[in-house]
Structure 1
């Protein structure tokens, strides 16, 4: 129901309208052109711990010993009548006499009934105190987790780096482990923020600086939710590591073309589809056995409900990966 509809109903059928207004969980008050209270719903009465008879026909800005006489709010509401304007989401932080320190988002709008030229104002209050407190607590928890994660990553990397590796096979394992740990911790940093990551930026960061110089990218701007950042980063890191060791990035002149876009999947799901195609690299053939990197790529894609197609033509390795967004 539009505010105008609600106000019109209040003018033509007060009892019915008051019942509708009283079902609203947000505090609502209607002011006349002199800013006197004409009506208020039960949520307003309860929220500010007042009696209805004590506020009707009273100046809004004098209620509760002037608790609403806030200069910025007075100016905004005063501008509604002459300008037919609206106030949306104006934040009020105040120490109220009866309910203490609270934060409200205030919406106010001019309402004029067709049969009455006297303008009125409907004001709606949204108490966001607890919501803001919860957000602040979550920000603190996330910041603390990120801090501890960084400390943990530093300890783990230090232990691995300082482990003696006289055996060449162990040295190669150590190098691969450090790379995977690094990309894992970087991706966790992004995911911990709870936001989104742009695919191309994620691609270039996960592939590494050396491989990134060989990339030729084409595709639209696509954002990945935080839950996809870690597995996608690890897949891209494995592809980049393989290209650097055995593929197109291991020789001068080698190129890696990466293209991506959106596709349709089962059950009307939207898929991110990307192809990694290496060119001008060393001649390759399909490996006799599946390595850990390949198993990791396939396992991560399957975990996200996606699929992987790997091919090994002599001209260069190709991977086609599909994951649901």
Structure 2
């Protein structure tokens, strides 16, 4: 400023700088009289320089700035050299309607220590506040819809669980009533398939989710249930589960659960024709990113002729259909030391035991 020839030139530059500020802007003296105002201030609030310059801030317009809290805050600026940030004013301005303005202020104290000015900016945040209010309203509605959805889901889960238990009970009653041993076995197998689906459903309910479940926990509970219902008192068969922790989609969990049910039932029924100590059915599950491997093996007598269902058996048909549905490949190996069924999604290098 020292390069200017006179004070008038410096004032002209200062006013030009003020006018370039896009937001309404005021320069006040220590008594809050307006020394300068930006062009945007005049345009925004529809006032003239004659009614603005030299007037006290709190007397401008219809007295919209005569706010006790604002008076108090501005009154602390000069003596303490502090700043004012984010002071919000909501007012029905003439010609503008209701607006929300955010005020920010800075104090400049000159070298003599006795002279100071206040720089005051006004920012119209009406639109952003409206968007925030709409967003909050939409969020509240979304949360309400989610609560309603949860209530409906819990009700649906409860009804599905009851329905599956009723079906399983009916199948058990029918199995006890029929005289044909073959029919009885088919009904018992069907009951286990229903219970397998019910186990997934109950696990989904316990995990409070409908998309994914912790599969290792589900697999352990499923195999425990299969052992309790399928292994007779005179059989010394153990079902072991080795599964890596990780969640899977509920749809895949249902399919894998049905596969495990079929293979474990098959092993219990055919792998151990004579009771012997150390009879084991081993179920392993590994994951590697999007790929996985499920193996059900036993240390029984292998696949005897006339034992497990052949190509047309219902259990075999179900397993193959589910494997295809999962986009996986199935491999069966049999020897005198047992049967191993491996179901693999993509190329998978196993690090778990696949036989017992």
- Distance in 1 between the 2:210 and 2:309 partners? 41
Question: 1:315 corresponds to which residue?
Answer: 337
Q: Secondary structure at the match of 2:261?
A: helix
Contact 1:191-1:229 within 8 A present in 2 as well:
no
Q: Secondary structure at the match of 1:151?
A: helix
How many residues were matched structurally? 221
Measured at CA, do residues 298 and 288 of structure 1 come closer, stay the same or move farther in structure 2, by a change above 3 Å? Answer: closer
Measured at CA, do residues 234 and 155 of structure 1 come closer, stay the same or move farther in structure 2, by a change above 3 Å? Answer: same
Q: CA deviation at 1:135?
A: 0.6
The answer on 1:289 being equivalent to 2:300 is no
The answer on 1:225 being equivalent to 2:249 is yes
Q: CA deviation at 1:38?
A: 8.4
Question: 2:223 corresponds to which residue?
Answer: 207
Q: Secondary structure at the match of 1:260?
A: strand
Which of 257, 275, 295 aligns to 1:275? It is 295
Measured at CA, do residues 302 and 271 of structure 1 come closer, stay the same or move farther in structure 2, by a change above 3 Å? Answer: same
Question: 1:262 corresponds to which residue?
Answer: 287
Question: 1:37 corresponds to which residue?
Answer: 88
Contact 1:284-1:315 within 8 A present in 2 as well:
no
TM-superposition CA deviations, 1:117-144 (whole Å, max 9, x none): x9x9x99944211210121121122112
Measured at CA, do residues 289 and 154 of structure 1 come closer, stay the same or move farther in structure 2, by a change above 3 Å? Answer: closer
Q: Secondary structure at the match of 2:320?
A: helix
Q: CA deviation at 1:219?
A: 4.9
TM-superposition CA deviations, 1:259-301 (whole Å, max 9, x none): 433358xxxxx2111222222x234336572322122111111
Contact 1:198-1:222 within 8 A present in 2 as well:
yes
Q: CA deviation at 1:247?
A: 2.1
Measured at CA, do residues 187 and 162 of structure 1 come closer, stay the same or move farther in structure 2, by a change above 3 Å? Answer: same
Contact 2:85-2:103 within 8 A present in 1 as well:
no
TM-align CA RMSD:
3.7
- Distance in 1 between the 2:164 and 2:309 partners? 35
The answer on 1:150 being equivalent to 2:151 is no
- Distance in 2 between the 1:155 and 1:202 partners? 21
Note the 1:31-180 alignment, pairs <5 A.
33=84, 35-37=86-88, 54-57=99-102, 125=132, 126-127=135-136, 128-163=139-174, 164-180=177-193
Contact 1:248-1:255 within 8 A present in 2 as well:
no
| Structure 2, unpaired ranges of 5+ | 1-19, 24-82, 91-95, 105-118, 229-236, 347-356
Contact 2:212-2:250 within 8 A present in 1 as well:
yes
Question: 1:85 corresponds to which residue?
Answer: none
Q: CA deviation at 1:251?
A: 4.1
Measured at CA, do residues 313 and 263 of structure 1 come closer, stay the same or move farther in structure 2, by a change above 3 Å? Answer: farther
Q: CA deviation at 1:226?
A: 1.5
Contact 1:283-1:316 within 8 A present in 2 as well:
yes
Which of 193, 197, 212 aligns to 2:213? It is 197
Q: CA deviation at 1:13?
A: 7.8
- Distance in 1 between the 2:162 and 2:316 partners? 30
Q: Secondary structure at the match of 1:194?
A: coil
Q: Secondary structure at the match of 1:214?
A: strand
The answer on 1:253 being equivalent to 2:278 is yes
Question: 1:92 corresponds to which residue?
Answer: none
| Structure 1, unpaired ranges of 5+ | 1-11, 16-31, 40-50, 60-115, 265-269
